[in-house]
Amino acid sequence: MREKHDLNARAGKRAGGGPRWFGYTRIYANPEETDPQKRTILREEVNPVEADAIREAAVRVLEHGESVRSIMRDWTQRGIKPVRGKQWYPTVWVDIMTSPKLAGLREWQGQKYPAQWPAILDADTHERLAKMFADPARRKHIVRSQAHLLSGIAICPKCGRGLHYRNYEGKSSVRTRSDAYACVAGPYGCGRTAIKAELLEEYVTGAVLDALESPRVQEALREGQLDEHAPRRAELLADIQRNQEIRADARRDLTDGTIDRADWLDIRQRTEDNISKARREYDRLSGSGTVMSDIPASEQVRDAWESWNVDRRRAAIRAVMHRVIINPLPPGAPCSPGGTFKDPVKRREREMAILRQRVEFDWRV
């Protein structure tokens, strides 16, 4: 039975029955049969609606930095439902997007073989998605949706931890306080840094938009749209596939008696070394990209910003800067930056002037 499964996998045949795959429409030889157990599967064909959603989602995750939950909400609103169940869950969504089936590959015993059904995603996109969601550090930020613009981007200089949004609305004891980005006291921070959220978001947004409109950044962004490592990654994937085929041919030659065991062991070791080397280089190249695509020309930046959701705006911020450092109040500055001004305009100007002295940008480009 194990040998039969191995032969079917190498031939690219499907594993068996089970539910329909998301992204594909199942064609039966006897579609009039009401008993699912008695239906005979002929082939899998691409489902146009679901396939387009999958391709779009891959771009939104890999290129735009959008979160999984944001895409699931969008799919739900558009009426795109999972094959089983009434709603999407992150684990189900990630399992679908990282499945080798979408790349037209049949997986068996840790190996992937060209399958008999059509691919929805190319091999490079599949590998990048699989690598992204296999990394716990990157998966945490992609799967979990950040509700606020600068959570984790604004940094406390004392402990180096990311600031979190603190909402004071509805708390009677601090009714007069404004919402802030603050360092959390405890094992995950020192609790000694806080700054008014509304003013910080306004200041950072203005700085990012000015940067995105500048000729220097526009040139860098245009260059960043061209993935310079894509051709090399394609070569590495082809090299991995070629070595896997050489090893499979040698295994059949050993079974037929064409080569002896010593030759088989030598071929297996050489192909494994080549695959490991190519895989290490591929992983290095696929993890080196920065999200810089889909940012429009200078004259369209501000209109595009208004149409983006929080995830897309956060990705744009990270495209041009590493972090926003919130330094302590400058010497001589009052603890209440607004002072005693009753005029809201003058009070805001005073607060913004002091905030500019505290905020330090760590630019990427």
Residue range of the domain that includes 187? 154-226+292-363
pLDDT score of 51:
95
Residue 28 CA to its chain's centroid (Å): 36
Q: Please check whether residues 190 and 316 belong to one and the same domain.
A: yes
Here the CATH number for the domain that contains residue 121 is 3.90.1750.20
Number of DSSP helices (H) and strands (E) in the chain, helices first: 13, 10
| Band of pLDDT at residue 93, cut at 50, 70 and 90 | very high
pLDDT score of 32:
86
Q: Is the pLDDT confidence value at 346 over 80?
A: yes
Q: Please check whether residues 31 and 87 belong to one and the same domain.
A: yes
Q: pLDDT tens digit string along 143-159?
A: 655 568 898 889 999 88
Q: Which two tokens stand for residue 292?
A: 């810089």
Does an H or E element contain 298, and which?
none
Q: pLDDT tens digit string along 222-269?
A: 665 545 677 888 888 888 888 888 988 888 888 888 889 889 889 988
Q: Is residue 176 part of a domain?
A: yes
Q: Is the pLDDT confidence value at 2 over 70?
A: yes
Taking the CA of residue 197 as centre, how many other CA atoms within 13 Å lie in the half-sphere pointing to its CB? 19
Q: Please check whether residues 217 and 203 belong to one and the same domain.
A: yes
Q: Please check whether residues 221 and 239 belong to one and the same domain.
A: no
Q: What per-residue string of b and e applies to 309-327 under the rule 16 or more CB within 10 Å gives b? A: ebbbbbbbbbbbbebbbbe
Q: Is residue 307 part of a domain?
A: yes
Q: Please check whether residues 12 and 88 belong to one and the same domain.
A: yes
- Number of folded domains that form the chain: 3
Phi–psi pair at 155, nearest 5 degrees: -120, 140
Q: Is residue 287 part of a domain?
A: no
Work out the average pLDDT over 176-200: 85
Percent of the chain topping pLDDT 70: 87
Q: Please check whether residues 102 and 165 belong to one and the same domain.
A: no
Q: Please check whether residues 300 and 205 belong to one and the same domain.
A: yes
Q: Is residue 27 part of a domain?
A: yes
Q: Please check whether residues 222 and 234 belong to one and the same domain.
A: no
The residue whose two tokens read 């590998």 is 127
Q: Please check whether residues 20 and 76 belong to one and the same domain.
A: yes
Q: Please check whether residues 126 and 273 belong to one and the same domain.
A: no
Q: Please check whether residues 260 and 313 belong to one and the same domain.
A: no
Q: Please check whether residues 258 and 276 belong to one and the same domain.
A: yes
In the chain, what is the greatest distance between 2 CA atoms, to the nearest angstrom?
93
Q: Is the pLDDT confidence value at 169 over 90?
A: no
Q: Is the pLDDT confidence value at 98 over 90?
A: yes
